[in-house]
Structure 1
Amino acid sequence: MSRAEDKHGGVSEDHVLEDRLLQDAEAAFFAIHAQDARTVVPATVLATGGETMGKRVGLETPRSAATADPAHAADPAHAADPAHATDPAHATDPAHATDPAHATDPAHAADPAHSGDAAHSADPAESSVRSGGASGSAAPLTSAAPLNWSVHYHARMLSWVLKLEPEAGLALRLAAMAQHLGRYLHPRGDFPEGRAGYLAWRAHAAARQAEAAEDILARLGCPSAVRTRVRSLLLKENLAHDAEVQTLEDAACLVFFELELEALSHKHDQAKLERVLRKTWKKMSGRGRREAQSIAVVRSPEISRVLRNCPVAEESFDV
């Protein structure tokens, strides 16, 4: 059932507006994620079920790549123009791709007039994400093409949020789409080494993602109260006492387990790996921890062994 359809089969105007906002926000955030030059190899990615960001969020029918840009979707002549969708000059124009203002301003990238959606839809990495989807079971993805890192990361974020909380509200869904929005524009290497530098980088990236998300949502006509709530979720405010913040944090930790932990296990010694695992574990609810253990059983016997020695249910939001 669509979020716009009530239990009696009727349509709520509020839900119709909410669904439209979700679609437009998905397109705007996707335009930023798709500019990340990093990729992830499908063979190392575990699909664990739920929606992907390449589908209409909370709705029944998939979105096509051709309607990813709100401006394109709103302009039938523009959206249907095959020359625009396949114009290699547009997709590969160095001036367009490397313009500092365009490349480093998330709000600019998400502006319907500047999203460069034609170039994105021509990218095989993007296409493999948007045309695919998780199967609902723990199985390797089958696409041979590398996946755009940020696009896939946010597909997994949304997937996990919806698995943990199938009735997730508007603000939580929007926050899942915007988690680490444009973080690739703020490299860790731009900050000093050591814990102080790491914390400064985290604080800077978090503030910028929240600002960018709030600005984009304002442009899309998102109500002020929803924008404020999305910002609070992205900044992980009141984590110990807010169930939605905890769900978002659980999802972020689970995507970390899926996409990054195995590489860390080869990069660091046992002691460092255990420290990373325990720090991540402390941030998770019991529900999130059980999901993490399920991932570890499939992915890494070593990680699974460490997690077996970690407590499962300590958090307030254990279910």
Structure 2
Amino acid sequence: MSVSTETTPAANAPADTGSVSASARMPGRYPWLTGAIIWALLLTVPFWLPALGGYTALAGRVLVLGLAAMSFNILLGFTGVMSFGHAAYFGLGAYGAGLTLRYLTPSTPLAILAGVLLGGIAGTVFGKLIVRRRGVYFAMVTVAFGQIVFYIAYSWDSLTGGYDGLRGFTRAPIDLFFTKLDIANNDTLFYYFLLAVFGVATLLQALILASPFGRTLLAIRENERRARFLGIPIERHIWLSFSISCAFTALAGALYALLNNFADPMGLHYSLSGEIVIMAVMGGMRAFWGPLVGAALFVVLQDYISSMTTNWMSFVGLIFILVVLFFPRGLLGMLQRSSAK
């Protein structure tokens, strides 16, 4: 269908044409700029963070919780399904890694693999049971499952250490045949190890979301009924999204156990699930890097404010409310929208 140029005189105005083309190019260019800035900051953290009063372990915590929030966001931000029980898979990943190091073998790669398998398999099995639930019913069932896992870890003293948590293990150096990475004693080297794992995980997430499967998830998020009319197997896609999200979250939990050389039941508690939701929403759940930005803000505020008062969560909650009220797209979403204008 052609449109006569007489009926659209504004389209021939040079100023308008330049304005439209500039805004059209921005969405395709800005994500690359965002990623470049984020990676430049992450790669140089050990050099500039101490000058700001920070420490390397704080940056490692940002990476780990940022990965957990980005993994959760596959389900919330890109599929449109809410879960309040993702701490269960985070904690299972931590316990899987810790139990492997303590009772099976002092191998860091195997510990990470065990954590991912434990959390990923649990998420896959549980997701199959609840995939037909929607809305508040789906969210409440995820909370219930998380609390069941929390109670088991809390009560099984002989295996998990109960309330005191799982101790007696430490991350082991990694033998690369030609060299050995002493991540057990070198905090900076361990940070870059975390960054390497984080990079591989986020690359896989980006490839999944850019694939036809990822585009289908977006279609389900925007209009589930229309996607069903198009013949898309909704339940199967939500189940796969849930399983993938849980596996990546378990990876974050395994890294968290290595970061602290410790795993405790609070890593399974619903309060951590709430914090993961806060990170994703505060940073921008419709933006790929948004949850990482939210995690960085959350962790830094927690570390700084908790050193002054035990009521640090009140201040974080106030900031979260302000972000939701005035920046509903999240901090990164707000920045992207401003730059696109």
Q: Judge same fold: TM > 0.5, yes or no.
A: no
Q: TM-score, normalised by structure 1?
A: 0.29
Higher RCO structure, 1 or 2 (CA under 8 Å, sep 6+): 2
Q: Greater helix percent: which structure?
A: 2
